[in-house]
Amino acid sequence: MLVNVGGTNGAGIVAFDKETGKVLWIATNDEASYSAPTVATIAGARHALFFTRAGLVDLDPANGKVRFQFPWRSRNQASVNAATPLVVGDLVFLSASYETGAVVLQLTAGQPKKLWSSDDALSNHYATAVHRDGFLYGFHGRQEYGQSLRCIDLKTGKVQWSQDGFGAGTVTLAGDQLLILRENGELLLAPASPKPFRPLSRAQVLPATVRSYPALAGARLYARNERTLVCLGLGK
């Protein structure tokens, strides 16, 4: 079990034995973030990728050896890094708000090569973007200021379409479809396509405010706000 505990004396990231709770290794002095780590195989090697408060940390999950650290955070002390690192082949997409922006890194021989970065492409506040067929879909901008729902090209950052003033929410990929759950409780189903945004269906499923990610299990979608849990049948 790998956890971004956040601490000094080398205990920023900690690996625990899931059966006993025994500490297996510790690494970095980074403070904790709101981002969940991800583990992926890149060029035949296992990588544990953490978006800590300071930036990206790539380490060997077997022993905690740090391969590299890539600083990526706002100068604003009140800021957070919340979106999970997104791995597509040998590319890693990082994104944060607070005038930080997005960056795509290519891991060449274990070291990062920056392909592009921008605060005008897809700056995620708290919701992680999703990927399909070379394109990313997610929410751009600060949650408080009326976010845009966007599609961008992964390798260039070019915006394919943008639904401005869409409000905040989450995006879940289900096959070739996007399940978009807005903070106001509206659920939309739309194709995961770089062509102009055209929702297939939409329904008000919960009262505001909805910030939790839904859970998809087969043809059922579970969603909640602070007081209500709903289960929705999505059909075959």
Model pTM score: 0.94
162 has a pLDDT exceeding 80: yes
| Amino acid occupying residue 198 | R
pLDDT, residue 146, reads 77
Average pLDDT over residues 22-31: 96
Residue 233, CA distances (Å) to 170, 177, 188, 211, 214 in order: 19, 15, 14, 20, 13
DSSP assignments along 142-176, one per residue: -GGG--EEEEEETTT--EEEEETT---EEEEEETT
Q: Whole-angstrom Cα distance, residue 231 to residue 217?
A: 10
In the predicted structure, residue 229 carries a pLDDT above the cut 80: yes
Which residue is associated with the tokens 């990082």? Answer: 94
Residue 213 has pLDDT above 70, yes or no: yes
pLDDT for residue 236 is more than 70 = no
Percentage of residues of the chain with pLDDT beyond 70: 99
Among candidate residues 164, 85, 167, the one with its CA nearest the CA of residue 131: 85
Asked if 5 and 11 count as a contact pair (C-beta separation under 8 A), the reply is yes
Tell me which of 52-61, 79-88, 103-112 is least confident.
103-112
Question: Average of pLDDT values for 197-218?
Answer: 95
The string of pLDDT tens digits covering residues 172-204 is 999 999 999 999 999 999 999 999 999 999 999
Pick the more confident residue, 7 or 32.
Answer: 32
- Average pLDDT in the 93-121 region? 93
Q: Which two tokens stand for residue 112?
A: 């990062």
Retrieve residue 205's tokens. 């499923």
Summarize the confidence of residues 133-145 as an average pLDDT.
93
Q: How is residue 129 annotated by DSSP?
A: P
Is 82 or 234 the better-scoring residue by pLDDT?
82
Asked if 90 and 108 count as a contact pair (C-beta separation under 8 A), the reply is yes
Decide: 64 and 90 in contact? Cβ < 8 Å.
Answer: no
CA atoms within 13 Å, Cβ hemisphere of 213 = 12
Rounded mean pLDDT, 114-123 = 97
Residue 163 has pLDDT above 70, yes or no: yes
CB 63 within 8 A of CB 47: no
> Is residue 76 very low, low, confident or very high in pLDDT (cuts 50, 70, 90)?
confident
pLDDT at 107: 93
pLDDT score for 108: 81
Phi, psi of 171 (to 5 degrees): -125, 130
Domains belonging to the chain, first-starting first, are 1-84 (2.40.10), 120-236 (2.40.128.630)
The pLDDT value given to residue 110: 67
What is d(CA 176, CA 194) in angstroms, rounded to the nearest whole number?
12
For residue 66, the model assigns a pLDDT of 96
Band of residue 75 on the pLDDT scale cut at 50, 70, 90: confident
